[in-house]
Amino acid sequence: MDLLGILPEILVCLTALGVIVLDLFLDPAKPRTGKLAFANGLGLTLALGTLLGLHWGGYASVETFSGAFLPDLTAVFFRAVLLLAALLTLMLSVGYVQDKLRHPGEFYSLMSLATLGALFLVSASEMLTFYLSLELLSISSFVLVALRKTQARSAEAAIKYLIFGSISSALMLFGFSLIYGLSGSLNFAEINTFLHQQGSEFVYRFTAVEGQSAPAFQDGHLKIELMAALVLILGGLGYKIAAVPFHLWAPDVYEGAPLPVTAFLSASSKVAGFASLMRILETLSADVTVPFWTRMIVILAVLSIVYGNVVAIAQQNIKRLFAYSSIAHAGYLLMGIVALSEFKSRDMALLGLHYYLLVYVLMNLGAFAVMIYFAAKSQSVRLQDWTGLGRQHPWLGFVLTACLLSLTGLPPFAGFLGKFYLFGAVTMMGSQYLWLVLIGVLSSVVSLYYYARIIRVLFFGQTESSGSSPSEQTPPVLLALASGISLVGILGLFVFPNWVIDFVAQINQLI
């Protein structure tokens, strides 16, 4: 029964190993990217189908491995989203991998291993499994960033990613060790019970003594050991989601990594990071800890939203622009995390986080599918070199425009509903957080400026080229299919959001 619960993960692991073995038997002198991509796609599709089959059959929510792996409804949802993100990344990457990467087997196997780490991460319910899953995701991502071995910028990005990742991992592990030392347990549920029952012992309380008529300044505050644990853990996870001030790796890594790797990191890493953050904060949901981490999350949200949107305005490199856009969207999602702290806004916050992370995968990967083709067409990722490409390729230009408008939060695209749910959840907390909603709305208006600048260059910029031949204007089939799926997704989820709403309504608790 334990193995049945992780059958999708087993299939993903076998897919990664199978791709490596298949690559050994293929003739390196002949094109082999298509065969490797097909094998990888087949394995990921089987894993997604198995996950959905286990869920519909009632087997996907069974606690396994003595509670270390807890595939509850939240985990089922995010595992499905992660597998979808991996499949879309596979589809948009085939042409790029064939043209730019010397070892396609490495790319596909590492992408599967990173997906495997993310799958375990969103279902982990004890600290050791959580940390090992995070390391599998991180180490695979480090190597993916460095796959263009002949490019100095790629190597530089990988080194920066490795250094920042190692530091954040060490900080989070130290935070976990403090929590273990205080509670005596690695299990999230047992830690939660401990904090509810004995959390008051870690708060300074005023005790009247002779000659002291007023409380000391620290009364009512967390003691240093628990406070340090929370700061270290949130700092480590803040790195994973690229929230300010833990964002410094993101622009350079997005710019230096191969474009399909950038697409994968922007989607899968964000989903895994926020799913794990939700689970960790549910563990730390005791009355004594919630006020502290809520204040921290509010600060991270405001800094990420403002900094990401403002700095994105000045970017001419499209990959760096999307890096700062990703930072800003981390801030929007952190608003939903803030709303999880109160019972009255919890249901709306859960809906907003689940819905927006799904939509973010679709609109981000849809945009990157087009960007990969336009970058190959112009041999550049600088915005001014894309002048007129939207007129030359109307379908891809329309898909990119739709994804950008959805990222802005405009109807009739699903990004509008996602922000509506997130902002609505914060509004339900009361008037004390209306200023946070105002910052989110105004920053979305700012984001419209730099997204609209991309659209203006694509469709209204003057170009000296006379156009391309019809054969050159036809994008690869899989890339066009990935962009089409993304477009259908962001339009369909706006018109028919009920299945996500109904699914999230079944989630009575996060763990």
Average the pLDDT over 42-51 and give the result.
94
| Tens digit of each residue's pLDDT (9 = 90 or more) over 421-431 | 999 999 999 88
Give residue 41's identity as a one-letter amino acid code. G
Tell me what pLDDT residue 509 has: 46
Q: Is the pLDDT of residue 380 over 70?
A: yes
Average the pLDDT over 407-412 and give the result.
91
Average pLDDT value for the chain: 87
Work out the pLDDT band at 471, boundaries 50, 70, 90. very low
Q: Is the pLDDT of residue 311 over 80?
A: yes
Q: What residues contact 14, with CB distance under 8 A and at least 6 apart? A: 43
Average the pLDDT over 329-349 and give the result.
92
Average the pLDDT over 295-301 and give the result.
94
Average the pLDDT over 201-230 and give the result.
67
Q: Is the pLDDT of residue 504 over 90?
A: no
Q: Is the pLDDT of residue 218 over 60?
A: no
Average the pLDDT over 115-123 and give the result.
93
Which is higher by pLDDT, 149 or 378? 378
DSSP bridge partners of 484: none
Q: Is the pLDDT of residue 206 over 50?
A: yes
Give residue 157's identity as a one-letter amino acid code. A
Residue from 138, 128, 14, 6 nearest 70 by CA = 6
When mean pLDDT is compared across 37-46, 93-102, 363-372, the lowest value belongs to 93-102
Tell me what pLDDT residue 217 has: 46
Q: Is the pLDDT of residue 98 over 60?
A: yes
Phi then psi for 208, rounded to 5 degrees?
-65, 130
Average the pLDDT over 266-281 and give the result.
92
Average the pLDDT over 451-471 and give the result.
70
Tell me what pLDDT residue 207 has: 53
| Tens digit of each residue's pLDDT (9 = 90 or more) over 56-80 | 877 655 567 777 888 788 889 999 9
Number of helices followed by number of strands (H, E) in the chain:
21, 0
Q: Is the pLDDT of residue 215 over 70?
A: no
Q: Is the pLDDT of residue 152 over 60?
A: yes
Instruction: Scan for tokens 């992780």, then name that residue.
Output: 6
Average the pLDDT over 123-128 and give the result.
90
Which is higher by pLDDT, 198 or 277? 277
From CA 392, how far away is CA 389, in angstroms rounded?
5
- Structural contact between residues 96 and 106, judged by C-beta atoms closer than 8 angstroms: no
Work out the pLDDT band at 511, boundaries 50, 70, 90. very low
Q: Which DSSP state fits 200?
A: G
Tell me what pLDDT residue 153 has: 86
Which is higher by pLDDT, 464 or 348? 348
Q: Is the pLDDT of residue 437 over 70?
A: yes
Instruction: Scan for tokens 């250094």, then name that residue.
Output: 163
Q: What is the DSSP string of 121-185?
A: HHHB-BHHHHHHHHHHHHHHHHHHHT--TT-HHHHHHHHHHHHHHHHHHHHHHHHHHHHHHHHS-
Tell me what pLDDT residue 466 has: 43
Q: What is the DSSP string of 422-453?
A: HHHHHHTT-GGGHHHHHHHHHHHHHHHHHHHH
From CA 178, how far away is CA 191, in angstroms rounded?
12
- Structural contact between residues 104 and 20, judged by C-beta atoms closer than 8 angstroms: no
Residue from 44, 40, 83, 481 nearest 267 by CA = 83
Residue from 359, 300, 303, 304 nearest 328 by CA = 304
Average the pLDDT over 353-369 and give the result.
94
- The proportion of the chain whose per-residue pLDDT surpasses 70, expressed as a percent, equals 91
Give residue 489's identity as a one-letter amino acid code. G
From CA 144, how far away is CA 241, in angstroms rounded?
18
From CA 494, how far away is CA 441, in angstroms rounded?
19
Tell me what pLDDT residue 286 has: 85
